[in-house]
Amino acid sequence: MHRRILAPGALAAASLLLAVPASAAGHSPGAPGIGDPYYPYYGNGGYDVSHYDLRLQYQPATDELSGTATILARTTQDLSSFDLDFLLDVSEVRVNGAKAAFTTSGQHELVVTPASPLDKGTQVTVVVRYSGVPSTKSAYGFSTWHRTPDGAVAADEPESAWWWYPSNDHPLDKATYDVSVAVPDGTQVISNGLLQSSSSQRGWTRYNWRQNKPQATYLTTLAVGRFDITTSTSEGGVPVVNAYSKDLGDNDGAARASVERTGELVDWLSGYFGPYPFSSAGGYVPNTTTGYALETQSRVYYSPKQFANGSNTSVVVHELAHQWYGDDVSLKGWKDIWLNEGFARYAQWLWSEHEGEGTTQELADYVYASHPADDAFWTVRPGDPGPDDQFDIAVYDRGALAVQALRNAVGDDAFFTILKGWPKEYAYGNASVADFEAYAEKVSGKSLSGLFDAWLFEPTKPAAAALRAAGVPVQPRSWKKIEATNDVH
């Protein structure tokens, strides 16, 4: 149906050169990875997803998840087959309505061979019917599916999708989402965006969540459990939806005292980063035993442990800053992680200054002085840290130092223009560290390659000239709260 008509001579030449079967002349398998050197098998080649429609059912008592994923995509090459990243058990795949052959490969590849090859540049609808117990599945020896006493949570970086929906699992392929999950009455479902509706039938309640802006796969979250949900609207007009496990125990008060500040902090960050980019904001605190937080789009994931020592607005600022730096503008490759973490950490410094607990310069001076030149801290290159050091503390702290060095080099006017202009320049898209450097040079009119090289790419402690450190700085009052967020994403 989609087969190309080739002149006999051309067909013979193609067969000789490529030795492909005549039935799929010119069509080849999509790559099992999207081309990220940090994670060669993450994401896939040959297509671009525009929308995921997930219609699922989940039973907390047994951890059984089942349902259907309908994926809308466009091919970017002539395809004889293509991969999805997925771990659960697939019973049927259809491509453009017709049953497709499928098999598994590698650690997390679902290889789909459509009945007819797919031509480049065409719309494709893929339906995957599946079921399974996510907690029994692993890849590379690990699982990021978090069971809780009352349900489960999918929220992790860079991997979380494999355990609950088939995808092109890389931030380069962002898409919109409808996430519909039925759970036993009395249990709630939390996901991204806005709750469109919910209804109960025969003991099951179905929740329909919608994310109407492009979203990376790792930023798509699912939480099932017994939650108390709060809704409000920020002074600036952003709808806020937060959720708290009903079993947070002693952490309940501190969690709410932090996360209920979301609307206020979204408005405050808008002053630096521009209008909030999504249809809603918020966070949720499930009763997991994890320790981190994650910038899941429009609905931040917080571990209860983040609030074990009392409230912490600094972690809320960090994760909300990611809504612009990481979620609205997503990285092109995982080596670009500084664009996420350097700026989210710097937002914590701005909040410290706002609260009168230490200026960004005082924090920069303190971090700089805290790490002597022979500290391994300086061997981590935030501009390309390598997969093992992707979330090393240096990506955060040296990364924020780089932001302060940029500010001092270009001056406050240009710096704050860059800070606010960047999310607009690459809105809902992807960008690299090189793109940021080019943008900062364009806005400031200055050559910044020496500065970026020294602070992001050299495995040594940069000279202090770009900072204004003098003497041994005292520890800023905000430091302990910021340090307490060292485990977050």
Phi-psi region of 35 (alpha: psi -120 to 50; beta: other; left: phi over 0): left
Are residues 139 and 87 in contact, defined by beta-carbon separation less than 8 angstroms? yes
Q: Which is nearer to Zn ion, 222 or 400 (CB)?
A: 400
Q: What distance lies between CA 79 and its chain's CA centroid?
A: 28
Q: Minimum distance from CB of 326 to Zn ion (Å)? A: 7
Q: Which is nearer to Zn ion, 52 or 479 (CB)?
A: 479
Q: Write out the binding residues for Zn ion, residues 315-354 only, by CB under 5 A.
A: 341, 344
> Residue 251: exposed, middle, or buried by beta-carbon count in 10 A (0-12, 13-18, 19+)?
buried
Q: Minimum distance from CB of 387 to Zn ion (Å)? A: 17
Q: Minimum distance from CB of 327 to Zn ion (Å)? A: 11
What CA–CA distance (Å, rounded) separates 223 from 190?
5
How many residues sit in the footprint of Zn ion (CB under 5 A)? 3
Q: Minimum distance from CB of 322 to Zn ion (Å)? A: 6
Q: Which is nearer to Zn ion, 41 or 396 (CB)?
A: 396
Q: Minimum distance from CB of 488 to Zn ion (Å)? A: 6
The 8-class DSSP code of residue 126 comes to E
Phi-psi region of 401 (alpha: psi -120 to 50; beta: other; left: phi over 0): alpha
**Residue number with the smallest Cβ distance to Zn ion:** 344
Q: Which is nearer to Zn ion, 66 or 348 (CB)?
A: 348
Q: Minimum distance from CB of 246 to Zn ion (Å)? A: 27
Of 72-80, 187-195, 206-214, 481-489, the segment contacting Zn ion by CB under 5 A is: 481-489
Q: Minimum distance from CB of 489 to Zn ion (Å)? A: 5
Distances from the Cα of 213 to the Cα of 52, 178, 192, angstroms: 12, 11, 10
Q: List, in sequence order, the alpha helices (H) in 298-359.
A: 313-321, 338-354
Q: Which is nearer to Zn ion, 88 or 344 (CB)?
A: 344
What CA–CA distance (Å, rounded) separates 15 from 117?
16
Q: Minimum distance from CB of 218 to Zn ion (Å)? A: 12
Composition of the chain by helix, strand, coil, percent to 5 = 30, 30, 40
Q: Which is nearer to Zn ion, 75 or 348 (CB)?
A: 348
> Residue 29: exposed, middle, or buried by beta-carbon count in 10 A (0-12, 13-18, 19+)?
middle
Query: Beta-strand (E) ranges in 226-297?
Result: 227-233, 239-245, 283-285, 293-294
Q: Minimum distance from CB of 339 to Zn ion (Å)? A: 11
Residue 253 CB neighbours (<10 A): 12
Q: Minimum distance from CB of 324 to Zn ion (Å)? A: 12
Q: Write out the binding residues for Zn ion, residues 267-286 only, by CB under 5 A.
A: none
Q: Which is nearer to Zn ion, 25 or 344 (CB)?
A: 344
Q: Which is nearer to Zn ion, 188 or 485 (CB)?
A: 485
Strands 188-190 and 222-225, sheet pairing:
antiparallel
Q: Which is nearer to Zn ion, 173 or 341 (CB)?
A: 341
Phi, psi (degrees; rounded to nearest 5) at 374: -90, 5
> Residue 220: exposed, middle, or buried by beta-carbon count in 10 A (0-12, 13-18, 19+)?
buried
Q: Which is nearer to Zn ion, 174 or 489 (CB)?
A: 489
Site string for Zn ion, 381-410 (x = CB under 5 A): ------------------------------
Q: Which is nearer to Zn ion, 157 or 173 (CB)?
A: 157
95: contact with Zn ion by CB under 5 A: no
What CA–CA distance (Å, rounded) separates 246 from 149?
11
Q: List the strands of the sheet with 28-29, edge to edge.
A: 28-29, 79-85, 109-113, 101-105
Which residue is it, tokens 């230490």? 358
Which stretches of the chain bind Zn ion, using CB under 5 A?
341, 344, 489
